[in-house]
Amino acid sequence: MDGTETKIRAGYRVRPVGAGERDERASANAGEPTLEFAESLPYDAYVRAGTLHSLQEPLGEDPGEMSFLMITQIMELYFGLTRFEVDEAAARLRDDDVWGALRPLRRAAYDLEGLNAAWRGLRWMTPSDFNRFRDLLGEGSGFQSAMYRRLEFALGLRNAALARPFRGQPSVHAELVRDLRVPSLWDEVIALLSRRGFAIPAEVLGRDLTEAHESHPAVEAAWVAIYRDDTPDNHLRMLGEALSEVAERFSDWRYEHLKAAQRAMGGKAGSGGSAGVAWLRRGLDLVVFPELLSARTLM
């Protein structure tokens, strides 16, 4: 689409406007906002705010359910946004564009900060608050979030069994299976290190992508060497720091999830068949980009 083409989005018109036209409109309005529009508001045409605000359908009458539902939906949007940025960074690295990968990685870290902040909106939820509508969720559980699972796969946390719950949704299941078969962000990082001359063994480069990456001393050694070079133009060191920020913020999300579950349900069983908090605690041991963390012991 060029700078003058009108975009039709589900019946709404989104027409690009340049700086000159904006200045003319502001002058004609004497600096006041435009109040008259012949069609739907441009803001809604672009953001689809009306659609977003029509998606909240609580199942009960307790007002707290609206907060729980909407914050969960906000998290889903952040899962999708973060995965988008992770995929963009992986594509840049595949093209050997380390500098270009830094920008989406930094955005992903900020996205994860927003995701983590969403938990604070549920601090009001005590067990009695949650129990007022929890039964209405049935077997619904965050474990069943396809977009969260796709984010995990994109970061390199891979477990083919976790795609099984989605077999009843063929298109979603197909996306998850496809994600398992393409290199994760960490796989692209390791391939980049190999192309840059670091001695990465063939068994690491040619591993089964559907299985989780296991930490390897050769990858660890590569990062030790990278961090020992503190020259200003060491883009690989910058990459390591950007990846570390993403890893830390993602780990924060898992911990915030655990705390929220403890606060709202204690040691009760989870809605989706798990042991609840005990099951979430196990997940804290799963680390993305593991050699970036372990290499620091050797630096």
Tokens found for residue 131: 């129990």
Tokens found for residue 154: 């994109």
Three-state secondary-structure class, residue 17: coil
- 4-15: per-residue pLDDT in tens? 555 665 556 778
257 is an annotated ligand-binding site residue? yes
The domain segmentation of the chain, as residue ranges, is: 7-52, 66-266+274-297
Per DSSP, which regions of the chain are E strands?
7-9, 12-14
- CATH code of the domain occupying 66-266+274-297: 1.20.58.480
Question: What residues have CB less than 8 Å from 253, skipping those under 6 apart?
Answer: 112, 115, 116
235 is an annotated ligand-binding site residue? no
Q: What's the rounded mean pLDDT across residues 237-252?
A: 97
- Going by the DSSP 8-state scheme, the letter that residue 268 receives in this structure is P
What pLDDT is attached to residue 283?
82
* Distance from C-alpha of 107 to C-alpha of 85, rounded to nearest angstrom: 7
Other beta carbons less than 10 A from residue 243's beta carbon: 24
User: pTM of the predicted model, to two decimals?
Assistant: 0.91
The per-residue b/e assignment along 63-79, b for 16 or more CB within 10 angstroms, e otherwise, is ebbebbbbbeebbbebb
The answer to whether 270 and 279 are in contact (CB under 8 A) is yes
* Distance from C-alpha of 258 to C-alpha of 247, rounded to nearest angstrom: 17
Look over the chain and give the mean of its residue pLDDT values, rounded to a whole number.
92
- 22-46: per-residue pLDDT in tens? 899 889 989 899 888 877 788 888 8
